A and B are shown apart, each in its own frame.
Chain A
């Protein structure tokens, strides 16, 4: 069994401030980790993923996440946010041996204020 906990349901920040969206997971098997973003009235889009190798992964729009196996975390960070980053962010895990079933967190709403 696997579960995902996103520790903050809402994160309000001012433009150009740094942000961290926290994600912890539990699983009895090794996992792949993902962050998805959902803009208003749209479906989810992949932001970044960790499959193996370097524990720090980056997206093309400045977000990064670090896989910490000992703390079972995959926190998402951005050093300077823009208004356009306002969206809902979902952390997800897929058990390597539980193909096809991704478990999602409840989401974190990031609101960037001018």
Chain B
């Protein structure tokens, strides 16, 4: 069974540009979560999608957005990139939510120059 896959593995952008990160959940998982892992800041919850809808959002500005497609894959968009957006972006999936275990992908490392 394929795990959670994320692309690209690495992405380099400059300030003001837009970045798009993609995530494919484990087959059968309907919930997708995005976390930001910045150096020294731990994992910060970004977004939760379930059945195509945004269900919960962390304390991030609106330039962080995303969507979930009918096949449950997801996309995270970061507009107007700032230097402090440089981080490892982790996607996780689960069967539903709550007590369900999160299965994480290996992450996409975004570097903003």
Q: Contact residues of A with B, CB < 8 Å?
A: 32, 34, 36, 41-46, 49, 51, 90, 94, 96, 98-107
**Which residues does chain A contribute within 8 Å of B56, judged by CB atoms?**
98-101
B interface residues with partner A (beta carbon < 8 Å)? 4, 31, 33, 35, 41-43, 45, 48, 50, 55-56, 58, 90, 92, 97-99, 101-107
In the complex, A36 Cα to B107 Cα: how many Å?
Answer: 15
CA distance A36 to B31 in the complex (A): 18
Chain B residues near A101 (CB, 8 Å)?
45, 48, 56, 58
Query: How far, in whole Å, are A11 and B107 apart by their CA atoms in the complex?
Result: 25
Q: Do A42 and B106 contact each other (CB < 8 Å), given the known contacts A101-B45, A101-B48? A: yes
Q: How far is the CA of A45 from the CA of B58 in the complex (A)?
A: 22
Contacts of B97 in A (CB 8 A): 99-100
Please, which residues of chain A bring their CB within 8 A of the CB of B48?
100-101
Across the interface, B104 reaches (CB within 8 A) one of A44, A49, A98, namely: A44
Asked if residues B107 and A106 are in contact (CB atoms below 8 Å), the reply is no
A51's partner among B90, B99, B105 (CB-CB below 8 A) is B99
Nearest Cβ on chain A to B105's Cβ, whole angstroms: 5
